[in-house]
Amino acid sequence: MKTIEQLGLTTLVIIALLFSCKKADSTATADVANYESTADSTAVSSSAAVEKKDSKQKFIRTADIKFKVKNVVKSTYAIENAVAKFGGFVTYTNLQSNIHDQIKTKISQDSTLETTKFSVENNITIRVPNTQLDTVIKSIARQIDFLDFRVIKADDVSLKLLANQLSQKRSSTNEKRVEKAIDTKGKKINDIMEAENALANQKEANDSKTIDHLSMQDQINFSTVTLQLYQNETIKQEITAGEKDSAYYKPNLGIQIIDSLKNGWYILQAILVFFINLWPFILLTLGGFFLYKRYIKK
């Protein structure tokens, strides 16, 4: 009895150990899968794409990413939807198929198998809010099957922006001084014209500085992302109507013989008509021959 009880207890212990090991393996597998999923979604991103709160620096952020996807068309729609969701917009997209080879194989008298090898690619340029760049890049990473490269830049333009503002302020001050000089001291027409030209040049310089400032501010607010998508080579096969030989369209022998007789008759008619058109020359020739025989020869 004791032996039986010991065997039963040993069996229960072994079963418990096997169950716990299997559970641990499944948990480890799940952890690995979760880690890989997290790694795939974050491998493309970078701290350079993250907007830091309460930062005095102003950055112009750009990203350039090339990667392979399973289906370019589906990934393009997914990326465009994600960009629109986070307040961005698409400025350029060029979706195209590149044919690598095309083979036509005749499989019957009236059918041809057309095999086309091609690849699909798309070049996309998007603008996204600077605060959403990291989120958009992580959304794009879900479409990646193989990453060729990713380049993310964060250029600090704080000093350049400050210099532009100061230059714009100086230009505006000079513009006001010239206007005041024209109103108070301009008397001679030549002096007024020179002052007006100087004022126009100053206003043009001020407008140029304003446009530069707005352009830089726009690049700060909206990051530019350039994407290059491609997929594996695809093979498409299609059965089309085969091209028939030229002999197929020729008439049968009987019709060809009848057509030949007709053509011969037409040729004979043309020859007869040709000689009939020459009757004056024939008449003169016969008359000359007759005169030669009758008079000249005697």
Q: Is residue 186 domain-resident?
A: yes
The radius of gyration of the chain's CA atoms, rounded to the nearest angstrom, is 45
Parallel, antiparallel or unpaired: strands 59-68 and 222-230: parallel
Q: Is residue 161 domain-resident?
A: yes
What is the model's pLDDT at position 280?
Answer: 82
pLDDT digits (tens, 9 = 90+) for 248-267: 667 777 788 888 888 888 89
pLDDT at residue 297 greater than cutoff 80: no
Q: Is residue 115 domain-resident?
A: yes
Q: Is residue 127 domain-resident?
A: yes
pLDDT at residue 195 greater than cutoff 70: no
DSSP H helical ranges for the chain: 2-42, 72-85, 133-141, 158-185, 189-221, 253-277, 279-291
pLDDT digits (tens, 9 = 90+) for 176-194: 666 666 566 555 555 555 6
pLDDT at residue 43 greater than cutoff 90: no
List the single range of 35-44, 151-160, 163-172, 215-224 with lowest mean pLDDT.
35-44
What is the model's pLDDT at position 260?
Answer: 86
Q: Is residue 34 domain-resident?
A: no
CA distances from 24 to 10, 14, 28, 215, 280 (A): 21, 15, 6, 57, 120
Q: Is residue 293 domain-resident?
A: no
What is the model's pLDDT at position 292?
Answer: 75
Calpha distance 166→172 (Å, rounded) = 10
Calpha distance 174→36 (Å, rounded) = 61
Q: Is residue 294 domain-resident?
A: no
What is the model's pLDDT at position 38?
Answer: 40
What is the model's pLDDT at position 210?
Answer: 79
pLDDT digits (tens, 9 = 90+) for 122-159: 999 999 999 899 899 999 999 999 999 999 898 887 77
Total domains present in the chain:
1
Range of the domain at 49: 43-262
pLDDT digits (tens, 9 = 90+) for 50-82: 566 666 778 889 999 999 999 999 999 999 999
Q: Is residue 76 domain-resident?
A: yes
